[in-house]
Amino acid sequence: MKKTIAVIAGDGIGPEIVGEAVMVLKQVAEKFGHDFAFDEKLVGGAAYDACGDCLPDATLAACRSADAVLLGAVGGPKWDSLPGPQRPEKRALLTLRKELGLFANLRPAKVWAPLRDASPLKAEIVGEGIDLLVVRELTGGVYFGEHSRAADGLSALDKMPYSAAEVERIARVAFASAAKRRGRVTCVDKANVLETSRLWREVVERLQAESYRSIALDFMYVDNAAMQLVRAPGRFDVILTENMFGDILSDEASQITGSIGMLPSASLRADGFGMYEPIHGSAPDIAGRGIANPLATILSAAMLLRHSFGLVAEADAVESAVGRALADGVRTNDLGGAATCAEMGAAVRSRLG
């Protein structure tokens, strides 16, 4: 298989962790006989420093013409004083999601068996393991609604728009994901207060009745979901939710697995094109020290193989190499060990065969 991957490492630990993931992808290509080309471009603060724009035209064009995008992370204190729309997170991330039409954000959160003791939850709660998938709507809701401030500066308004079509397309992703997992979707909302949530419930309920009867569906208010994630996380299979609730709940879900350095994500379009990135940020506090955990990015690369290229055996091989490295006790600092970023990457590659 011949594919082009746009590689946008970004800021802080981005280049370190993406470098390890690209080496894993190169090894996969060699082992399984594929031809992957890597088109490296600047994004975020690094791009701003080079050309005054966190998302240069050449980067957006490379992402558009690639078969998939691998992203590290953007942002850092150096660029925090830029005006809002020019900041890395807004200019680069939100624009990429919108311009590339990436409406579905998949964030798996699982406790890897060898890392059970890394979860901050009590052993009896972690039980036989936590393995859930947050399916978050990514291009609508309050992050993309109108934002305004009154002329006197004393009141502000953020609108939270959603259409039935937007809800339906993300709900389809959640139901299809649940069909490949344990067959249960929990739709998280605030239907006791928000009209958009009541629209979500109507659409999701109708869709399940029409097309996904084999999937169990329940609804939960977001405040209760935040509580259940730490009280009984094992009850969740797929959590379907809107943009802002998904942002918050997926970070909470990441914490119960032990380290933010373990969690990958995919942001997908309906045709399978996607952008893949760890859920953590650029970690300026540890950037350049070579101690970042590259596993979230390596697991993002595995998601890329699975979701955008349909290379299931290759994705399984990467994930099981990660599992074996952890089972053999290789740990970066965030997991309580002393392996460097490069050593962790090498440990995965040496177990890929």
Let me know: does 146 contact 157? Beta carbons within 8 Å: yes
Let me know: does 79 contact 89? Beta carbons within 8 Å: no
Q: DSSP characters for 127-192?
A: TT--EEEEEEE-SSGGGTS-EEE-TTSS-EEE-----HHHHHHHHHHHHHHHHTTTSEEEEEE-TT
Indicate the SS3 state at residue 3.
Answer: strand
208 or 265: CB nearest ligand NAD: 265
Contact window for ligand NAD (CB under 6 A) among 114-122, 145-153, 165-173, 289-297: 289-297
Question: Is residue 24 close enough to count as binding ligand NAD by CB under 6 A?
Answer: no
Question: Is residue 15 close enough to count as binding ligand NAD by CB under 6 A?
Answer: no
Question: Is residue 281 close enough to count as binding ligand NAD by CB under 6 A?
Answer: yes
Question: Is residue 251 close enough to count as binding ligand NAD by CB under 6 A?
Answer: no
Indicate the SS3 state at residue 265.
Answer: strand
To ligand NAD, the closest distance from the beta carbon of 78 in angstroms equals 9
Indicate the SS3 state at residue 339.
Answer: strand
Q: How far apart are CA 265 and CA 257, in angstroms?
A: 14
29 or 299: CB nearest ligand NAD: 299
Token code pair at residue 90? 């807004």
220 or 301: CB nearest ligand NAD: 301
- Which residue, 341, 250, 287, is CA-closest to 77? 287
**Count of residues that interact with ligand NAD, criterion CB under 6 A:** 22
Question: Is residue 293 close enough to count as binding ligand NAD by CB under 6 A?
Answer: yes
252 DSSP 8-state letter: H
With CB under 6 A as the contact rule, the residue among 136, 309, 334, 344 that binds ligand NAD is 334
Task: State the maximum Cα–Cα separation within the chain, in Å, rounded to a whole number.
Answer: 64
Binding positions for ligand NAD, 62-91, rule CB under 6 A: 73-76, 89
To ligand NAD, the closest distance from the beta carbon of 55 in angstroms equals 12
Contact window for ligand NAD (CB under 6 A) among 51-59, 208-216, 291-299, 321-329: 291-299
Question: Is residue 108 close enough to count as binding ligand NAD by CB under 6 A?
Answer: no
311 DSSP 8-state letter: -
The CA–CA distances, whole Å, from 45 to 26, 50, 145, 241, 273 equal: 27, 9, 25, 30, 25
Contact window for ligand NAD (CB under 6 A) among 183-191, 222-230, 292-300, 343-351: 292-300
Name the burial class of residue 47, with classes exposed (0-12), middle (13-18) and buried (19+) by CB atoms within 10 angstroms of its CB.
Answer: buried
Question: Is residue 280 close enough to count as binding ligand NAD by CB under 6 A?
Answer: yes
66 or 93: CB nearest ligand NAD: 93
Token code pair at residue 303? 């998601």
The residue with its CB nearest to ligand NAD is 281
Question: Is residue 107 close enough to count as binding ligand NAD by CB under 6 A?
Answer: no
With CB under 6 A as the contact rule, the residue among 5, 43, 66, 93 that binds ligand NAD is 93
Residues that bind ligand NAD (CB under 6 A): 13, 17, 73-76, 89, 93, 260-261, 277, 280-286, 292-293, 296, 334
